[in-house]
Structure 1
Amino acid sequence: MRHLPLRLSPLAAALWLASPLSQAVELQPQVITANPLGNSELAAPSTVLDGDDLTLQQKGSLGQTLNNQPGVASTWFGPGASRPVIRGLDGDRIRILRNGVGALDASSLSYDHAVPLDPATVERIEIVRGPAALLYGGNAIGGVVNSFDNRIPTSPIDGIHGAGELRYGGADTTRSSAGKLEAGDGRFALHLDANSRQFNDLRIPGYARSSKVRDADEPGSKHRLENSDGRQDGGALGGSYHWDHGYAGLSYSRYDSNYGSVAEPGVRLDMQQDHYGFASELRDLDGPFSSVKVDLGYTDYQHRELESGEVHTTFKNKGYEARVEARHQPLGPVEGVIGAQVSRNEFSALGEEAFVPQTDTNSLALFMLEQWQATERLNLSLGGRLEHTRVEPDSKGSERFAEADRSSSFTAASLSSGAVYELTPVWSLAATLGYTERAPTFYELYANGAHVATGTYEVGDPNLSKEKAISSDLALRFDNGTHKGSVGVFYSHFRNYIGLLASGNLREGHDHDHDHGDEEHDHDHDHDHGGDVPEYLYHGVRARFYGIEAQDRWQLAQNRYGSFALELSGDYTRAKNLDTGEDLPRIAPLRLNSGLLWELDRWQARVDVQHASAQHKKPANETSTDAYTTLGASVGYRFDIGQSQWLAFVRGENLTDQTVRYSSSILRDIAPAPGRSVEVGLRTTF
C-alpha cells in the first residue's frame, strides 16, 4: 500500500502520487482521526485509504468503497445508498465525518437514505474501528469514518495545480467525471472542484429476489435491479490564508442527487445538501498551549421522497457542529490535547411517511487526551469525555406523537485508555480499554409510524436510558520488511444496547400498495395482512459483540520482472442479544480477502479473490445468506504528457458473475450485489 506523505503541499502530493511506482517511498501516515497528537503508532485499530488504493477501490457510495476493508461491511441499499458497518454496528453508532466535523444528513435514520458524499472528491479516508467516542461523541461508539477533501487548503499552494478523472462502465454503466483546481501565491490558496455521476439500473446475476422469498407465479425482475438508476452532482469552492504559524479558511459545497429506492418501485429520493465550513489552526504559540485548532461546519440538508413524481415525504436536517482542540505544552514526558465540541441539529419530516416528529437536538461536550511515553518501548494514552445532550421534540399537534411533547436530557461520560508496547524491533503489542455512553437518538425515543423503507412499524420509547458499553482491543503487530500487518481481537459488552426488536404484533401500515420484500421476516407481509406490517420496538437489551481481524502485506519478490506482493486479510464478528440468547441481525459472516500485486516501471496490476462464508447465525425471524467467492482484477499504466502525469486503468469485478447477497444489508433478499462488471478510467494530475 502506498501512503501519502501528509505534510507535502498539494502540488508535491500530486506529483508524488503521479511518480513511477518504483520511486515510491513507504511512509507512515498520520491517522489524525484517532489521535490529534499526530503520532503514527496508535493503540486504536485504524486504516488509511488514499492514493492509488483509493482510486482503484472507489465506488459510487462510501459504504461500497470501504466494503472490503478489515472489519467494515456495507448496508447496501442498491447503488444509490450504502453506509459503512463497522464490526456489526451501523446507524447512529458509526460517526461519519468530513474533515473532522460531522456533516448532518439523514443517512443514519434509514438504510435508503444515502450519505451525501461522492468518493471521487475525497483525497483520503481514515477509518477507526472500535470506540472513538472519546473525541467525536457517543455516536462514535462503533467507530469513525473521516474523509478529507482539502476544500479548505491546510498547506500553502504555489502556482496552479489540479487533477481530473473520468470513469465509464461497471455493473450500473457508470459515467462519471470529477476535477479539481488549486491555485495560490504561498499566502492565499484557492480550491475549486466539481463532480458528476450517472448510473443505470444495476446488472445482476439471475433474479433480484432470492429463492427464499421468490414467488413462482411472480418471480420479479431478472438480470436487472429495477429502479436502481440515479445521478449525483456536486461542487465546492474554498480558500484559505496562510501565515508562518497557521492558517484560516472557508468553504462552500453543494451536493445534489436523485436515485431510485430498490425496495419500492416508482419511488425516488431527491436529495440536496449545502455545507459551509470554517477551519483555522494557530501553531507555535507561547503560553500554556502550543497550538489551537478550530473547525466549524453548518449544513442545510433535505430530501424528498417522490412517488409517481409526487412528493409524499420531505426530510429536512439543518444545524451546525463546532469543535476546538488545544494542544498543551509538554509536561515532562506527557503530551496532550483538550477540547470542546458544540452542535445543534434541527430535524423535521413532513408527509404521510413521517414516522418521527420534528426534533431539535443540542449537545455540548468537553474532552481531553493525554499521551505518556513511559519508557523507550511503552507508550500509554488516557482520555475522557463528558457530553450533555438535550432532545426536544414537537408533535405539532399530531396525535401519533402525543408522547413526544416532553424533552429528554442525557449526560454521557466516556473513558478510554491505550497502550503500545514494542516487544522487539519487529513485533509490538497494542491494547485499548474503554467505557462509552451514548445518548438515544430522537428516532429511538419518539418514532411512531410505518417505516416504508424497511417494511416495519417502528415505535420509540421516550423512557430509554443511555446506551453503555465496555470495549477492548488487543492486537499483535509486525513489520520485518517482508511481512507487515497485524492480528487482533475485539470485545464489546453493552449494558443497554438499543435494538429495534420485533414485538410479534401487527400494525396498520402505509395505505399505498408497496412491495417491500421484507427480509426481516420469512413471509411477505405486504398484502397478506391487508396492509398490516409487523411492529418493531426500540428497546434496550444486554448485548455482546466480539471478533477477530487480521491482515498482512507479504513482499514476495523484487527483481527485473517487477515487484510482487501478496495482501491477505480477514475478519469475523459475532453479536448476541444476551437477554434472549439470539444472534443480533445484519452481521457480516467470516470474510477472507487475498490480493496478488505486481509493479514494474510504469505498470501495476493486481488480482483479488474474496470469500464470504454463509451466515446462519441470525435471529429466527431473519433469512440466512449463502457463501460466495468472487474474483476481481485491475491493471494500470502511468505516462506523462508535457507537465501532466496520467494513470489509465481497467478494473474488473465479480468476473465469474456470482450471486452475492450481503448479510449486513436489510435488502439481502431483494437486492443482490452487482454482477460481472468492467470499468475503465483515466486520471491526471498537473
Structure 2
Amino acid sequence: MPPSLSRPRWRLAPLGLALCAGAPSLADAAPTELAPQVITANPLGDASPAAPSSVLSGDELTLRQKGSLGETLNGTPGVSSTWFGPGASRPVIRGMDGDRIRILRNGVGALDASSLSYDHAVPEDPNVVERIEVVRGPAALLYGGNAIGGVVNSFDNRIPSEPVDGIHGQGELRYGGSDTTRSAAGALEAGDGTFALHLDAGSREFNDLRIPGYAHSSRQRQTDGDDSRHRVNNSDGRQDSGAIGGSYHWDHGYAGLSYSGYDSNYGSPAEDDVRLKMQQDRYAFASEVRDLDGPFSSVKLDAAYTEYQHKEIEDGETGTTFKNDGYEARIEARHKPIGPLDGVVGAQIANSRFSALGEEAFVPHTETDSAALFFLENWQATERLALNLGGRAEHTRIEPNAKDNERFAENDGSRSFTAGSLSTGAVYKLTSIWSLAGTLAYTERAPTFYELYANGAHAATGTYEVGDADASKEKAVSTDLALRFDNGRHKGSVGVFYSRFSNYIGLLASGRYRDEEGAVVDAGDDEALPEYLYSGVKADFYGVEAQDRIHLLDSPYGRFDLELSGDYTRAKNKDTGEALPRIAPLRLNSALLWELQQWQARVDVEYAADQNRVPENELRTDGYTTLGASVGYRFDLGDSRWLAFVKGENLTNQTVRYASSILRDSVPAGGRGIQAGVKVAF
C-alpha cells in the first residue's frame, strides 16, 4: 500500500540522515516522538486512505532534496517536473500542472505566481522542510477546486504543534552536483513544555548547469542552428530563506505565529540576458483546540498572509514586476461520532491581488476572492470495508482592472463561478495481506485570471498567450483503483487511474503567429511568436502507477532491499484526436539498498522511454537511462549524531530531456554530478 501519511508531530525539519530506508534516522533518536497524525489525504487520521498518496520525510527526503520543489518530487510515482533549469521547477501530477496542482504549506495555500509561468519558482527551500505529502488525483478536493490534479503539502513545524522540552537542533552542509551547489541549512527549537520557539535558515548558491553535450536537441538545432555545449547559459542563481515562529501549549491545544522570508535571484535559461529576482514574506497563524464539549471534539484554524513579488530584469533594467498579495484562512471542526459516521466540516476563505507592471505584462491587474464549505465523513461499514465521502462547494469572483492598458480593455468585465465537487472512496481488505482501494470523484474548477484575461507576448516561453474571457468551469469525472499488498517483507501497490474532462482548459497552439504588439504575422517574420490560446476541450487522462519494496536478505555482509516503481500516463485532446502536450513517458525506477552497522548505500537506475505521442506542433523527446549511487557513514560525537555522505547522479553522463518541460529541446537536465555533505542533529 502507499506509505502512510502519518506525520511525527513534534519534529524539526528532516533529520533522517540514513541513506537507505529501513535504517533509523538521526531524528528517530531524539526524544518525545508522539503518535502519528494524518493530515492531507484524510484529516480524520486514517493511515491507509483510499486516495493514492506518497510521503517524503526523513531518510528519503534527505536523499531526494534538490533546489526546487519540482525536482525534489520528480520521479515519485505519478509526479514529473516542469524543469526550467535549476532555479525553477514545479510538480506535474499525472500530466497535469499549473493551477490544477494545489501547493500548500502546512495545509494553507502557498501564494505566489508559480502557476502563471514555468520560469516562476515556488518560493520554498526543500532543505528546511520537514515532510512533503503528495496526493495524486482529486481526492484532496477539501483543499480547493484547483486540486483537481492533486495536492502537494509541505510541513516545516515553524509553528510547533506539540510541546518542546529543552533544546534540539540540526545542521547541514552540501557541496557539488552538476550545478556545483553550495548549500547550508539549520534549525533550532527550544521550549519549556509550555512555550516553544522555532528558528530556521537556509542558503543555496549554484553555478551554470553542466550538461553532457549540446544544449539544444538535434531536431531543434536544425531549426535554430544553436550549437552551445556543455553548459546551460544563465542558469546560475542563489536562494536564501529564514523563519521565526513560536507557540503556546496547554493541556488541550496550542496557538502560535510565525514569520518566514524567502529571497532568490536566478537566471532564465530561455533568455541569456534575463534574471528573476524574487521575494516573499509570509505571516502565519495556527491553532487547535481539542477535547471539546458539545457536538465537536476539536477545532483547527490555519491562516496565512503573504506578500510576494518578483522582477524580471533584462540587461540590468526591470522589464516587468509581478506582485501577488493576499490571505487564506481555513477552519476545520471534527464532530463527535454520529452513529457510524466520523467526520469533519469546515470553511475556507481566500483573497489575492495580482498585478503585473511593465511593458511586457501579458496579464492585467486582477483581484480574486473565494469562499468555500467542505465536509468529509468516514464510515467503517464492516471489519473489512471502510468508506468515505467528501464534498466541497466554492464560490469564486475574479475582478480584472485594465489600468488603461488597451490590450486588456476589451475584456474588463468580472466573472463569478460556483463550483461543486464530490468524492467517495473505499478500502476493502481482501486478506490480512491484500486490499483493494478505489475512489470516484466529480470535480469542478473555476478558471484562473490568466486563463481568462491573458493577452500578450510571454517572453519566458517565447509565445503569445491569449485567454478566453468567456471560459466556463473545468469539469472532470475521475476514478482510481489500486491493489495493495504487505506481508511484512514485501510491500507495494499497483493501480490504474482515469479522468474524463468535459471541459479541459488547455494552452494550445492555434497555428498562427503574432508579433509583440499582437499583430498577426507570417511564421518567417523576425518577431514572430507562436500564438497559444487558452481553450476548453474534451480530454482524457489515464494511466498506471506501481511501487514495490522487497526485503531480499539479511547476511553477515549486511541487509539488502530492493525498491521498484513505475508510472505511465496518456492524455488526449478528444476534440482533435491529438495527444496533449508535455506528458511524461513511461518511467521505470529500481534501487538496490544495503545497510551494515554504521554504513548505508544504494544504487539507482531510472529508465524513461521515448515520448512520441506529442501534438503536431511539438518535437518528440528521446528516452534515457541514468545511474545513481550514494554511500553514507554514521557516527556520534558526544550527544550529537552525525552523517557524512556522498551521492552521485547521472553517473553515465546521459543527455536527459524531460518531456514534461517546455524547455526540453533547449535545456536538458544536468549531467554527471557528485555531491558530498554532512548533517548533524543534537
TM-score above 0.5: yes
Q: 2:58 aligns with which of 44, 48, 51?
A: 51
Superposition deviation, residue 350 in structure 1: 0.5
Runs of 5+ consecutive residues of structure 2 not aligned to the other structure? none
Determine whether 1:589 maps to 2:595.
no
Determine whether 1:294 maps to 2:301.
yes
Change in Cα spacing, 1:99 to 1:569, as seen in structure 2 (3 Å) is same
Superposition deviation, residue 135 in structure 1: 0.7
Letter in 2 for 1:112: D
Q: 1:559 aligns with which of 555, 573, 579?
A: 555
Determine whether 1:227 maps to 2:234.
yes
Name 1:622's counterpart in structure 2: 618
In structure 1, how many angstroms separate the alpha carbons of the residues matched to 2:480 and 2:522?
43
Name 1:519's counterpart in structure 2: none
Name 1:9's counterpart in structure 2: 10
In structure 2, how many angstroms separate the alpha carbons of the residues matched to 1:4 and 1:175?
31
- Structure 1, residues 554-596: CA drift from partner, whole Å, max 9, x if none? 0001232211100000000000000010000000000000000
Change in Cα spacing, 1:13 to 1:245, as seen in structure 2 (3 Å) is farther
Determine whether 1:61 maps to 2:68.
yes
Letter in 1 for 2:46: N
Change in Cα spacing, 1:253 to 1:71, as seen in structure 2 (3 Å) is same
CA contact (8 A) 1:526 1:533 kept: no
In structure 2, how many angstroms separate the alpha carbons of the residues matched to 1:224 and 1:458?
30
Change in Cα spacing, 1:362 to 1:4, as seen in structure 2 (3 Å) is closer
Determine whether 1:550 maps to 2:551.
no
Superposition deviation, residue 213 in structure 1: 1.2
Name 1:488's counterpart in structure 2: 495
Q: Percent identity?
A: 73
CA contact (8 A) 2:13 2:156 kept: no
Change in Cα spacing, 1:79 to 1:367, as seen in structure 2 (3 Å) is same
CA contact (8 A) 1:3 1:27 kept: no
Deviates more, 1:551-560 or 1:190-199: 551-560
Name 2:91's counterpart in structure 1: 84
In structure 2, how many angstroms separate the alpha carbons of the residues matched to 1:30 and 1:672?
39
Change in Cα spacing, 1:333 to 1:18, as seen in structure 2 (3 Å) is farther
Name 1:539's counterpart in structure 2: 535
Runs of 5+ consecutive residues of structure 1 not aligned to the other structure? 512-524
Change in Cα spacing, 1:430 to 1:134, as seen in structure 2 (3 Å) is same
Superposition deviation, residue 217 in structure 1: 9.0
In structure 2, how many angstroms separate the alpha carbons of the residues matched to 1:482 and 1:256?
45
Letter in 2 for 1:293: K
In structure 2, how many angstroms separate the alpha carbons of the residues matched to 1:509 and 1:588?
31
Determine whether 1:604 maps to 2:600.
yes
Superposition deviation, residue 30 in structure 1: 4.5
- Structure 1, residues 215-263: CA drift from partner, whole Å, max 9, x if none? 5995332100000000000100000000010000000000000000000
CA contact (8 A) 1:3 1:28 kept: no
Change in Cα spacing, 1:314 to 1:32, as seen in structure 2 (3 Å) is same
Superposition deviation, residue 16 in structure 1: 10
Superposition deviation, residue 203 in structure 1: 0.3
In structure 1, how many angstroms separate the alpha carbons of the residues matched to 2:19 and 2:624?
36
- Structure 1, residues 290-344: CA drift from partner, whole Å, max 9, x if none? 0000000110000000011100000000000000000000112210000000000
Determine whether 1:175 maps to 2:182.
yes
Change in Cα spacing, 1:136 to 1:569, as seen in structure 2 (3 Å) is same
SS for the counterpart of 1:214 is: helix
Determine whether 1:127 maps to 2:144.
no
CA contact (8 A) 2:80 2:93 kept: yes
Letter in 1 for 2:605: V
Name 2:484's counterpart in structure 1: 477
Q: 1:317 aligns with which of 320, 324, 327?
A: 324
- Structure 1, residues 25-68: CA drift from partner, whole Å, max 9, x if none? 99996541111101101000000100011001111111001101
Determine whether 1:415 maps to 2:413.
no
Q: 1:40 aligns with which of 33, 36, 47?
A: 47
Change in Cα spacing, 1:341 to 1:223, as seen in structure 2 (3 Å) is same
Letter in 2 for 1:38: G
Determine whether 1:384 maps to 2:380.
no
Q: Aligned residues, how many?
A: 673
Superposition deviation, residue 404 in structure 1: 2.8
Name 1:667's counterpart in structure 2: 663
Q: 1:251 aligns with which of 258, 281, 287?
A: 258
CA contact (8 A) 1:201 1:226 kept: yes
Letter in 1 for 2:147: A
Letter in 2 for 1:104: L
Q: 1:406 aligns with which of 413, 426, 448?
A: 413
Change in Cα spacing, 1:499 to 1:249, as seen in structure 2 (3 Å) is same
Letter in 1 for 2:539: A
Superposition deviation, residue 212 in structure 1: 0.7
CA contact (8 A) 1:4 1:17 kept: no
Superposition deviation, residue 17 in structure 1: 7.6
Determine whether 1:429 maps to 2:436.
yes
In structure 2, how many angstroms separate the alpha carbons of the residues matched to 1:11 and 1:621?
48
Name 1:263's counterpart in structure 2: 270
In structure 1, how many angstroms separate the alpha carbons of the residues matched to 2:463 and 2:24?
55
In structure 1, how many angstroms separate the alpha carbons of the residues matched to 2:339 and 2:205?
56
Correspondence 1:138-287 to 2 at 5 A:
138-215=145-222, 218-287=225-294
Letter in 2 for 1:369: L
SS for the counterpart of 1:400 is: helix
Change in Cα spacing, 1:29 to 1:73, as seen in structure 2 (3 Å) is farther
In structure 1, how many angstroms separate the alpha carbons of the residues matched to 2:356 and 2:372?
27
CA contact (8 A) 1:31 1:48 kept: no
Deviates more, 1:555-564 or 1:79-88: 555-564
Deviates more, 1:9-18 or 1:398-407: 9-18
SS for the counterpart of 1:248 is: strand
Deviates more, 1:16-25 or 1:339-348: 16-25
SS for the counterpart of 1:63 is: helix
CA contact (8 A) 1:4 1:27 kept: no
In structure 2, how many angstroms separate the alpha carbons of the residues matched to 1:210 and 1:14?
40
Determine whether 1:455 maps to 2:481.
no
In structure 2, how many angstroms separate the alpha carbons of the residues matched to 1:407 and 1:392?
4
Determine whether 1:136 maps to 2:137.
no
- Structure 1, residues 104-155: CA drift from partner, whole Å, max 9, x if none? 1000000000000110010100000001452111111000000000000011
Q: 1:360 aligns with which of 367, 377, 385?
A: 367
SS for the counterpart of 2:376 is: strand
Letter in 1 for 2:93: I
Superposition deviation, residue 9 in structure 1: 3.2
- Structure 1, residues 527-561: CA drift from partner, whole Å, max 9, x if none? 94120212111110000000000000000012322
Deviates more, 1:257-266 or 1:23-32: 23-32
In structure 1, how many angstroms separate the alpha carbons of the residues matched to 2:60 and 2:71?
14
CA contact (8 A) 1:18 1:638 kept: no
Name 1:521's counterpart in structure 2: none
- Structure 1, residues 161-198: CA drift from partner, whole Å, max 9, x if none? 11100000000000000011100000000000010000
TM, length-normalised to structure 2:
0.96
SS for the counterpart of 1:454 is: coil
Superposition deviation, residue 510 in structure 1: 6.8
SS for the counterpart of 1:598 is: strand
In structure 1, how many angstroms separate the alpha carbons of the residues matched to 2:512 and 2:3?
53
Change in Cα spacing, 1:613 to 1:495, as seen in structure 2 (3 Å) is same
SS for the counterpart of 1:154 is: coil
Superposition deviation, residue 399 in structure 1: 1.0
